[in-house]
Every structure is written in structure tokens, then in C-alpha cells.
């Protein structure tokens, strides 16, 4: 692998300060000309590209969520939870999603929040802890 020389020492070494300022001025004029030529068609195109990108993002996330990968990982996660005495819920993706939304709404409403029962193997019954 060879090291490249600094830009100021190689590519622009033969240019004077005036030449560099002239190049900058010409590039600014070119940018202004391109900006002035943009219109409604360009704005529609940009909005369409953004809309397609967002659709692809949602599609990708949906495919990842519903892919076969969770079926391969689920047994490993279940074993890990059992090893550390953590709760592990099973069920279809639709049922799990519904339970998540139910809990979000339940916890978002005002009022006392019921505490989930501790079902780990290491937990003591509530009467013994009082």
C-alpha cells in the first residue's frame, strides 16, 4: 500500500492562489445555475424518492420481523430465559403484538399499575416475603 501525497503538495501545487479562487468562483456559478434550473418536476421526483425509500424501510422491517430467523433464535432465547429464571412468552406474532399493544395502553392510562406476578423459580411466595 502506498501513501498518497497531501493534496496541497501534489494536485494543486502548480496553481496560484488566484487560480484556486477562480476555480471556486466558477464552481459557485455552476452550482447557482443548477439550483436555478430546479423546478416542480425535481421537487416531485425528490418527494417520490423519499416515499419509495420509506416504503422500502417499512417493507424491510416487516420482512425481518416475520422472517424465519425468529423461529431459529426462539429456542435459544427460551433456554437463556429458563437458565436465568426469566419469564418467556410464547405465541404467534399476531398474539404477541396484540399483547404488547394491550400492555402499552394499560400502562399509558392513569391509575395504579398492577405489578406482574414473579413466576421465576427462585421467587418466594408473596406471603413468605411479608
Q: Tell whether 32 is covered by a domain.
A: yes
pLDDT reading at 29 higher than 90: yes
| 26 and 52 belong to one structural domain | yes
pTM: 0.33
| 58 and 21 belong to one structural domain | yes
Q: Tell whether 7 is covered by a domain.
A: no
Buried b (16+ CB within 10 A) or exposed e, 39-78: eeeeeeeeeeeeeeeeeeeeeeeeeeeeeeeeeeeeeeee
Q: How many domains does the chain have?
A: 2
What is the DSSP secondary structure assignment for residue 110, as one 8-state letter? S
pLDDT reading at 21 higher than 90: yes
100: domain range? 69-108
| 29 and 56 belong to one structural domain | yes
Most confident of 7-16, 47-56, 82-91: 47-56
Distance linking the first and last C-alpha atoms of the chain: 71
Q: Tell whether 130 is covered by a domain.
A: no
Amino acid at each position: 500500500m502506498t501513501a498518497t501525497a497531501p493534496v496541497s503538495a501534489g494536485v494543486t501545487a502548480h496553481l496560484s492562489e488566484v487560480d484556486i479562487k477562480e476555480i471556486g468562483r466558477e464552481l459557485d456559478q455552476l452550482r447557482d445555475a443548477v439550483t436555478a434550473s430546479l423546478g416542480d418536476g425535481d421537487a416531485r421526483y425528490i418527494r417520490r424518492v423519499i416515499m419509495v425509500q420509506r416504503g422500502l424501510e417499512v417493507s424491510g422491517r416487516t420482512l425481518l420481523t416475520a422472517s424465519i430467523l425468529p423461529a431459529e433464535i426462539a429456542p435459544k432465547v427460551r433456554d437463556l430465559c429458563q437458565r436465568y429464571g426469566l419469564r418467556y412468552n410464547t405465541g404467534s406474532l399476531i398474539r404477541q403484538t396484540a399483547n404488547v399493544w394491550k400492555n402499552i395502553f394499560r400502562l399509558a392510562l392513569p391509575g395504579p399499575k398492577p405489578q406482574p406476578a414473579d413466576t421465576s423459580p427462585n421467587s418466594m411466595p408473596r406471603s413468605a416475603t411479608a
